[in-house]
């Protein structure tokens, strides 16, 4: 026991002993040297044939990389493939064509290396169907190709507050023939896009107006994602039908004081607005502000069949501000995506923006701290994160039940500690759904954990909890749970479950 715990025995001991595991025991980060002739501010990463990768940068370049999968970090070689683009925040390889597509601030471009010298010779505009006013914040985040062969683009608002040119604040699909299809409204400030193992499309939005925290959002065609400024462009999107609400943010204001009979009116609740606006899609997961991160970016899915460890088909979310990766487990309840986020791996060298996992279960990430600070401390980076082969003791999944949650673990738990309700604690909270920027955690509820039932194989625990609160984030601490063998604590003993729907009995 450390000295702090001896002096203050009633306080929780936050300092690990020398024997306690740390993240680097299980997931190793390798930093690569980057080309001296550029600031490699990686905004997107794509896998190419023959073990190559393409890195798109904030400075409008695309670099080809060889050797990053090697165990020798000095084996990495770079070649500049293209330059003169505007902020490459999406790359997609078309295997049928053998061509690379780049999403830039103003268009999707197809790049061709005609003479085979490793440099792009032809730049073809595939689509430029959205507007650019020149505002610094008008990012365009691009996806890889989806199951139908479409590319998705999420467009940041002007200044992240308003929509001054067409389709800012929207998700668009670009068909293989270049045709643009308006697909979802309500986007504010996207930081990254990605797919789950079934090919469903997601993006990360960032804290701001109508967003109390960063969020992971499910892009369902026809949905409204929560920020109303871009809804002025519904007249240009006849395929979307009528707009889900009056296009100006003040449309929400008059409804608030009637929602609940509280002194001074009510700050607005996502769970209540969902009843009024049928197109409104709640965040699948709140990436809790200040605890998980402050600026969510790339979305990566583990499809490596166990080569990245025990988290097959789960999502990993990068964060630019905290220079970290978090882990998300999702489920579908009453037709709505929801789930839990856990801390996963901190300690990256700069703010993470672009990311990609390869078939061997190696995550490649890169980014920058330009414009916003980042905990990593370096101005930019290109790094690799891979599993060491050692099994971490973690909560594997957290599923909602009508009367609580079911937890599964990567290793068997110690039955005595896992069955003791004192090993757990929970609080629940939500964020105001309002026009003001960000916001505190509100409406705190302190549920009671009535029982903890350990399964026969000691790999799962059923927690009976009351009350469950629809629309709240349920913050679960498992400080007392220990592993069966070495009696070690969980590597990460906290998870945040966004309970959009409570399962039926």
| pLDDT for res 160 | 78
The pTM (predicted TM-score) of the whole model is 0.94
Q: How far is CA 422 from the centre of its chain?
A: 32
Bond prior to 467 in cis (omega within 30° of 0): yes
From the number of C-beta atoms within 10 Å of its C-beta (0-12, 13-18, 19+), residue 239 rates as exposed
Q: CA 332 to CA 240: how far, in whole Å? A: 24
Domains and CATH numbers, the chain: 26-387 (2.120.10.30), 394-498 (2.60.40.1220)
Nearest partner of 163 among 217, 281, 243, 73, judged by Cα: 243
Q: What would the DSSP string read from start to end of 54-105?
A: EEEETTS-EEEEESTTSS-GGG-EEEEEE-S-S----EEEETTTTEEEEE-S
- The DSSP element (H or E) to which 418 belongs, if any, is helix 415-418
DSSP state letter for 317: E
389 vs 119, 287, 355, CA distance in Å? 38, 28, 21
| pLDDT for res 17 | 54
- The DSSP element (H or E) to which 416 belongs, if any, is helix 415-418
Q: Each residue of 5-58: pLDDT tens digit? A: 433 333 344 444 557 899 999 999 999 999 999 999 999 999 999 999 999 999
Q: What are phi and psi of 179, to 5 degrees?
A: -70, 135
Arithmetic mean of pLDDT over the chain: 92
Question: Which residues of 128-198 form beta strands (DSSP E)?
Answer: 140-145, 151-155, 170-174, 180-185, 190-195
277 vs 116, 150, 280, CA distance in Å? 53, 28, 6
| pLDDT for res 401 | 98
Q: CA 273 to CA 252: how far, in whole Å? A: 9
Q: CA 451 to CA 474: how far, in whole Å? A: 17
Residue 143: CB atoms within 10 A of its CB come to 27
| pLDDT for res 242 | 85
Sign of the dihedral defined by the CA atoms of residues 249, 281, 106, 320, in that order: positive
Residue 39: CB atoms within 10 A of its CB come to 14
Whether 35 and 63 have beta carbons less than 8 Å apart is answered as yes
| pLDDT for res 34 | 97
Is a pLDDT exceeding 60 seen at residue 448? Answer: yes
Is a pLDDT exceeding 50 seen at residue 3? Answer: no
Whether 11 and 478 have beta carbons less than 8 Å apart is answered as no
Q: Each residue of 96-127: pLDDT tens digit? A: 999 999 999 999 999 999 999 999 999 999 99
HEC string for 260-288: CCCCCCCCCCHHHHHHHCCCECCCCEEEC
DSSP state letter for 49: G
Find the length of the chain.
505
Average pLDDT of the residues in 322-348: 98
| pLDDT for res 358 | 98
Which residue shows structure tokens 């414009």?
371
The strand order across the sheet containing 352-357 reads 27-31, 380-387, 363-368, 352-357
Average pLDDT of the residues in 428-445: 94
Average pLDDT of the residues in 423-446: 95
Query: Pairing relation of β-strands 296-301 and 285-287?
Result: unpaired
Is a pLDDT exceeding 90 seen at residue 255? Answer: no
Q: Each residue of 282-304: pLDDT tens digit? A: 999 999 999 999 999 999 999 99
Nearest partner of 472 among 440, 427, 437, 503, judged by Cα: 427
pLDDT level of residue 70 (50, 70, 90 thresholds): very high
Which residue shows structure tokens 């680097």?
24
Q: CA 496 to CA 286: how far, in whole Å? A: 8
Q: CA 400 to CA 50: how far, in whole Å? A: 43
DSSP state letter for 212: S
Nearest partner of 43 among 382, 386, 384, judged by Cα: 382
| pLDDT for res 436 | 86
Q: CA 301 to CA 198: how far, in whole Å? A: 10
Q: CA 447 to CA 465: how far, in whole Å? A: 6
Tokens of 192: 């990254």
Q: What are phi and psi of 215, to 5 degrees?
A: -140, 155
Q: What are phi and psi of 226, to 5 degrees?
A: 125, -25
pLDDT level of residue 488 (50, 70, 90 thresholds): very high
| pLDDT for res 246 | 61
Strand partners, 92: 101
Whether 336 and 216 have beta carbons less than 8 Å apart is answered as no
């Amino acid at each position: 026991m450390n000295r702090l715990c001896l002096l203050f025995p009633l306080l929780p001991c936050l300092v690990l002993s020398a024997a306690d595991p740390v993240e680097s025991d299980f997931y190793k980060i390798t930093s690569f040297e980057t080309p001296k002739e550029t600031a490699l501010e990686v905004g997107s990463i794509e896998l190419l044939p023959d073990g190559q990768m393409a890195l798109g940068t904030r400075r409008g370049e695309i670099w080809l990389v060889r050797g990053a999968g090697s165990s020798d970090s000095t084996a990495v070689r770079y070649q500049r493939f293209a330059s003169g683009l505007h902020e490459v925040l999406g790359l997609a390889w078309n295997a049928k064509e053998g061509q690379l597509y780049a999403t830039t601030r103003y268009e999707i471009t197809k790049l061709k290396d005609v003479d085979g010298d490793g440099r792009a010779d032809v730049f073809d505009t595939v689509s430029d169907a959205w507007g650019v006013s020149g505002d610094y914040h008008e990012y365009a985040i691009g996806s890889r190709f989806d199951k139908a062969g479409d590319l998705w683009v999420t467009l940041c608002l002007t200044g992240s507050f308003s929509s001054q040119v067409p389709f800012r604040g929207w998700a668009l699909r670009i068909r293989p023939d270049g045709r643009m299809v308006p697909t979802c409204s309500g986007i504010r400030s996207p930081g990254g896009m990605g797919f789950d193992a079934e090919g469903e499309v997601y993006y990360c939005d960032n804290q701001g107006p109508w967003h109390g925290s960063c969020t992971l959002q499910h892009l369902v065609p026809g949905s409204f994602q929560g920020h109303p400024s871009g809804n002025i462009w519904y007249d240009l999107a006849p395929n979307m039908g009528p707009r889900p609400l009056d296009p100006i943010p003040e449309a929400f204001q008059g409804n608030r004081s009637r929602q609940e009979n509280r002194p001074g009116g009510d700050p607005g609740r996502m769970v209540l607005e969902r009843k009024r606006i049928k197109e409104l899609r709640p965040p699948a997961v709140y990436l809790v502000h200040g605890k998980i991160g402050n600026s969510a970016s790339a979305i990566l899915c583990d499809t490596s069949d166990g080569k990245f460890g025990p988290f097959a088909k789960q999502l990993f979310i990068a964060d630019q501000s905290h220079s970290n990766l978090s882990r998300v487990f999702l489920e579908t309840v009453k037709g709505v995506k929801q789930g839990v986020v856990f801390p996963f791996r901190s300690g990256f060298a700069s703010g993470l923006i672009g990311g990609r996992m390869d078939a061997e279960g190696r995550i490649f990430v890169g980014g920058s701290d330009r414009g916003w600070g980042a905990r990593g401390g370096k101005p930019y980076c290109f790094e690799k994160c891979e599993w060491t082969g050692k099994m971490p003791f973690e909560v594997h999944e957290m599923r909602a039940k009508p009367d609580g949650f079911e937890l599964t673990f990567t290793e068997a738990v110690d039955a005595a500690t896992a069955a003791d309700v004192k090993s757990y604690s929970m609080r629940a909270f939500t964020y105001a759904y309002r026009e003001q920027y960000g916001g505190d955690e509100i409406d705190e509820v302190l549920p009671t954990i009535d029982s903890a039932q350990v399964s026969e194989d000691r790999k799962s625990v059923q927690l009976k909890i009351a009350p469950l609160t629809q629309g709240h984030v349920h913050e679960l601490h498992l400080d007392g749970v220990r592993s069966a063998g070495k009696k070690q604590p969980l590597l990460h003993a906290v998870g945040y479950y966004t309970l959009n729907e409570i399962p039926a009995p």
